[in-house]
Amino acid sequence: MPNQSLPLDRVFWALGDPTRFAIIERLAKQPASVSNLAKPFTMALPTFLQHLRVLEKHGLVTTKKMGRVRTCALNGAKIDEVRSWLDIQEKQWAVRLNALDKLLEAD
């Protein structure tokens, strides 16, 4: 059986970094300019931009330039893909745990 979750491995890798995870949390509230996103971080802007590029490369964030301002937003399609995968995992584990409960009750 082919592993359908394989494309998501890099998404989860990208989310595994605390800085990138914090960026996603902030963008979950609303889109923001790169400069506003970078403000709470103590790193240099080029380092912050590397994190942003990773998120963009793996489809989690989209950016749009309007004039001199680059605005970032979550890519809802990729977030939905992750959510769907997690829902499937949750259902599979519920079935497994229910079977385990029944087995333990039988003993």
Confidence at residue 1, expressed as pLDDT on a 0 to 100 scale = 40
Rounded CA-CA distance 47/86 in Å is 30
pTM beyond cutoff 0.75: yes
The pLDDT of residue 10: 86
Q: What is the pLDDT of residues 36-58, one digit of tens each?
A: 999 999 999 999 999 999 999 99
User: Is the pLDDT confidence value at 6 over 50?
Assistant: no
32 has pLDDT over 50: yes
Q: Of 76, 68, 27, 67, which is closest to residue 51 (Cα–Cα)?
A: 27
Query: In the chain, where are the structural domains located?
Result: 6-75
Look up the CATH architecture of domain 6-75.
Orthogonal Bundle (1.10)
